[in-house]
């Protein structure tokens, strides 16, 4: 049995982080890199098993691809550079470049290019449950955001749009079943596909205070979206596709990441979403929807070395015409985009460019663009009208536990993935990609289900069915062993606490912290064959003869 801790780890920010460490499920190895101890490994395996069963049920086939990948395919797709600092890069002894896979679209495309040659070989869906690597700017909250983590990633390959839609639908339905079986409360929200490319995309969010995502939820209809997507839905006019002036404006004297970060008082490695800054006292800069994470390095390139400050809540006092939002403990929170950016002509902007995934450099309002042509920004706040039915929207925080994309032909085009079609001519394949954060789901479940006494697992993922506590030596110990043997013989998964020299109180506190659904205590009344049975979730306790307890549990 793993060691439990009385004290919270010093750096723990969230409930799941505190409890998973204290209850001995995981142990930190380095920032964002975690060891899974026996109890944690069981929960992780239980989640993986549910995911695997549902993926198999829709006809997806399991594979295992390497995590250590050559650079070349990621150069072909452009992601070797697009991913920036997020990629773990390394060299082999001959000096060849490698990376540790953050996600595997490129490699799966190559596998299918190799294995499938005719339309008759398709559709095909492949998946793996594998270790992923992302050098996250702010690994936090234990396994919620790791730099090494477990993901189930799957990829679909079809010859037609209808085929892709069907593969997407199958995944969407499988995800709903997976999260229902795991006991994870979740919402499906429309999302912007961002760096993945492609068109349709939805996120699976687990509502939780500890979440880093904000989403809007309509109480009257089934509309739900992440804030980026609702921003697009509410935008009165999209950014013009033709706007050549934007890209050409540049300032030679741009600050470096170091000077900017020092000025903002944040680490140079910081990544901020939807960053608002003040330049020369004016709130002028907005991180761009579509460029999902604006890192300071990128932003730094776009700002003249003027006075740059993060916008705080006070800045919005008396300025309802401006973006409302504030810098909170988690960075900038409750970002609102301007519905009507009445920015004075001559003001510098860092803003969306006229091409996807680019930034305009230090463009000047009035000189380079007109405000009324530049409404890529919208205020979203509680009570705003739902784009679908008009009712007042709610804003909530959540953890992203899954993400499904219709990629289309982005990767098939990059790698020339064709199969021979029905008419004997080559047909370009269309793809989908689908991810579930398997290790993150463990933390999300902990967040949603834990109470003040500790973890409290749903039966489907719990590390055991019954936690048997020997609250005493001799007779209680013998009764506890008898109970554990009988339960195991009946096919239940049992955790037996037979540690000598610990008080019953300590053992019971530990059992509650560990959070197995049933706690069976052999204590004071063991001589009469009486045990105490506790339902961990409700806290209900009952004394009853062991034989009765056994028939209740089996
Ligand atoms: P996030 O917005 O939280 O950074 P993402 O959108 O970058 O996640 P995807 O590329 O969509 O992540 O990956 C698929 C899934 O993998 C996510 O939905 C999430 O559940 C999980 N995941 C992503 N990054 C991490 C991480 N650093 N640690 C643990 N799980 C992660
Ligand atoms: Mg990410
Ligand atoms: Mg995301
Ligand atoms: Mg995502």
Q: How far apart are CA 389 and CA 222, in angstroms?
A: 9
Determine what percent of the chain is predicted with pLDDT higher than 90.
59
| Mean pLDDT value across residues 39-60 | 98
- pLDDT of 255 > 50? The answer is no
Mean pLDDT over each residue of the chain, to the nearest integer: 78
CA 221 to ligand 2 centroid distance, Å: 29
Cβ(441) – ligand 1 distance below 6 Å: no
Does pLDDT of 251 surpass 60?
no
Residue from 476, 474, 461, 480 nearest 47 by CA: 461
Helix (H, G, I), strand (E, B) or coil at 379: coil
Within 76-116, strands assigned E span 88-91, 97-100
pLDDT reading at 357 higher than 70: no
Q: Quote the tokens at residue 426.
A: 């080559």
401 and 186 Cβ atoms separated by less than 8 Å: yes
Alpha-carbon torsion angle 93, 96, 97, 103, nearest 10: -90
Cα(201)–Cα(191) distance, integer angstroms: 5
- Is there a cis peptide before residue 381, judged by omega within 30 degrees of 0? no
Tens of pLDDT, residue by residue over 184-200, are 999 998 875 333 334 67
What's the average model confidence in pLDDT over 229-250? 38
> Residue 20 has what pLDDT?
96
Q: Sorting pLDDT into bands at 50, 70 and 90, what band is 266? A: low
* Residue scoring higher pLDDT (464 or 229): 464
Nearest CA-CA partner of 213 in 177, 246, 237, 189: 189
With a CB cutoff of 8 Å and minimum separation 6, the contacts of 265 are none
| pLDDT given at position 380 | 61
Q: For the chain, what percent of residues have pLDDT higher than 70? A: 70
Q: Ligand 1, residues 134, 191, 229, 437: which to mutate, most atoms within 8 A of Cβ?
A: 437
Of how many residues is the chain composed? 554
Confidence of residue 217 (pLDDT cuts 50, 70, 90): confident
Confidence class for position 283, pLDDT limits 50, 70, 90: very low
Q: In this predicted model, what pLDDT tens digit does every residue of 96-138 receive, in sequence order?
A: 999 999 999 999 999 999 999 999 999 999 999 999 999 988 7
Residues near 10 by Cβ (< 8 Å), separated by ≥ 6?
A: none
* CA dihedral of 499, 502, 503, 509, whole degrees rounded to 10: -70
What pLDDT does residue 381 have? 67
Report pLDDT for 185: 96
What is the mean predicted confidence (pLDDT) over 453-465?
97
Asked if pLDDT for residue 303 goes beyond 90, the answer is no
Check if 202 has its Cβ closer than 6 Å to any atom of ligand 1. no
**Which of 403, 433, 438 to probe ligand 1 with, by most ligand atoms within 8 A of CB?**
403
In 409-502, the DSSP E strands lie at: 418-420, 426-428, 430-437, 466-470, 494-497
* Contact indicator for 385, 230 with CB cutoff of 8 Å: no
In what helix (H) or strand (E) does residue 479 lie, and over which residues does it extend?
helix 475-489
Which of ligand 1's atoms lies nearest the C-alpha of 401? 20
What would the pLDDT profile of 478-502 be if each residue is shown by its tens digit? 999 999 999 999 999 999 999 999 9
Contact 211 CB / ligand 1 (< 6 Å): no
ipTM of the predicted structure? Answer: 0.99
User: Tokens at residue 393, please?
Assistant: 């929207």
Long-range contacts of 252-256 (CB under 8 A, 24+ apart): 253/304, 253/305, 254/300, 254/301, 254/302, 254/303, 254/304, 254/305, 254/361, 254/362, 255/300, 255/303, 255/305, 255/308, 256/300
Q: What is the Å distance from ligand 1's center to 400 Cα?
A: 7
pTM for the model stands at: 0.77
In the reported structure, the alpha carbon of residue 242 is separated from the centroid of ligand 2 by a whole-number distance in angstroms of: 30
Distance 53 CA to ligand 4 centre (A): 23
Instruction: For residue 274, give Cα distances in angstroms to 271, 294, 383.
Output: 10, 7, 21
Query: Is the pLDDT at 212 greater than 90, yes or no?
Result: no
pLDDT tens string 363-390: 443 444 333 322 233 346 678 777 788 8
pLDDT 10s digits, 390-413: 898 888 889 999 999 999 999 999
The atom number, within ligand 1, closest to the CA of 196 reads 10
Collapsed DSSP state (helix, strand, coil) of residue 230: helix
Q: How far is the CA of 52 from the centre of ligand 3 (A)?
A: 22
Question: What confidence category does residue 230 fall into, taking pLDDT thresholds of 50, 70 and 90?
Answer: low
b (16+ CB within 10 A) / e for 32-46: bebebbebbebbbeb
């Amino acid at each position: 049995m793993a060691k439990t801790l009385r004290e919270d780890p010093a750096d723990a920010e969230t409930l799941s982080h505190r409890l998973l460490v204290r209850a001995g499920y995981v142990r930190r190895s380095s920032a964002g890199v975690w060891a899974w101890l026996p109890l944690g490994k069981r929960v992780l395996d239980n989640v993986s098993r549910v995911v695997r069963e549902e993926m198999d049920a829709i006809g997806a086939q399991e594979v295992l691809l390497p995590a250590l990948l050559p650079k070349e395919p990621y150069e072909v797709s452009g992601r070797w550079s697009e991913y920036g600092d997020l990629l773990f890069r390394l060299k082999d002894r001959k000096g060849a470049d490698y990376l540790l896979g953050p996600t595997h679209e490129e490699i799966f495309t190559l596998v299918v290019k190799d294995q499938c040659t005719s339309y008759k070989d398709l559709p095909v869906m492949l998946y793996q449950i594998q270790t992923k690597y992302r050098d996250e700017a702010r690994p936090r909250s234990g396994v919620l955001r790791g730099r090494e983590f477990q993901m189930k990633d799957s990829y679909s390959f079809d010859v037609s749009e209808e085929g892709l839609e069907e593969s997407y639908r199958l995944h969407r339905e499988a995800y709903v079943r997976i999260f229902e079986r795991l006991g994870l409360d979740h919402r499906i929200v429309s999302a912007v596909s961002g760096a993945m490319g492609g068109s349709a995309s939805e996120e699976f969010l687990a509502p939780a205070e500890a979440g880093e995502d904000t989403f809007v939820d309509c109480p009257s209809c089934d509309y739900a979206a992440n804030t980026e997507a609702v921003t697009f839905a509410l935008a009165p006019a999209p950014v013009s596709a033709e706007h050549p002036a934007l890209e050409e404006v540049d300032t030679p004297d741009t600050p470096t990441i170091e000077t900017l970060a020092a000025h903002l008082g944040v680490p140079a490695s910081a990544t901020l979403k939807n960053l608002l800054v003040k330049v020369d006292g004016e709130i002028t800069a907005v991180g761009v929807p579509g460029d999902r994470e604006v890192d300071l390095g990128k932003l730094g390139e776009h700002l003249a070395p003027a006075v740059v400050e993060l916008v705080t809540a006070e800045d919005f006092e008396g300025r309802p015409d401006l973006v409302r939002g504030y810098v909170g403990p988690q960075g900038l929170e409750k970002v609102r985009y301007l519905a009507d950016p009445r920015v004075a002509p001559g003001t510098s902007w860092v803003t969306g460019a006229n091409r996807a995934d680019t930034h305009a450099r230090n463009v000047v309002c009035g000189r380079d663009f007109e405000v009324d042509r530049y409404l890529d920004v919208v205020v979203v706040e509680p009570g705003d009208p739902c784009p679908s039915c008009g009712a007042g929207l709610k804003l909530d925080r959540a953890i992203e536990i899954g993400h499904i994309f219709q990629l289309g032909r982005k990767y098939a085009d990059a790698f020339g993935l064709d199969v021979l079609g029905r008419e004997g001519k080559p047909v370009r394949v269309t793809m989908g990609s689908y991810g579930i954060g398997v290790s993150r789901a463990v933390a999300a479940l902990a967040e949603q289900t834990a109470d003040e006494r500790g973890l409290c697992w749903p039966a489907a993922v719990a590390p055991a069915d019954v936690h048997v506590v020997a609250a005493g030596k001799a007779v209680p110990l013998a009764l506890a062993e008898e109970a554990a043997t009988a339960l195991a013989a009946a096919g239940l998964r049992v955790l037996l606490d037979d540690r000598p020299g610990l008080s019953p109180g300590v053992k019971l506190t530990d059992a509650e912290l560990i959070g197995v659904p049933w706690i069976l205590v052999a204590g004071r009344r063991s001589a009469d064959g009486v045990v105490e049975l506790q339902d961990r979730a409700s806290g209900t306790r009952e004394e009853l003869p062991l034989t009765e307890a056994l028939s209740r549990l089996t």
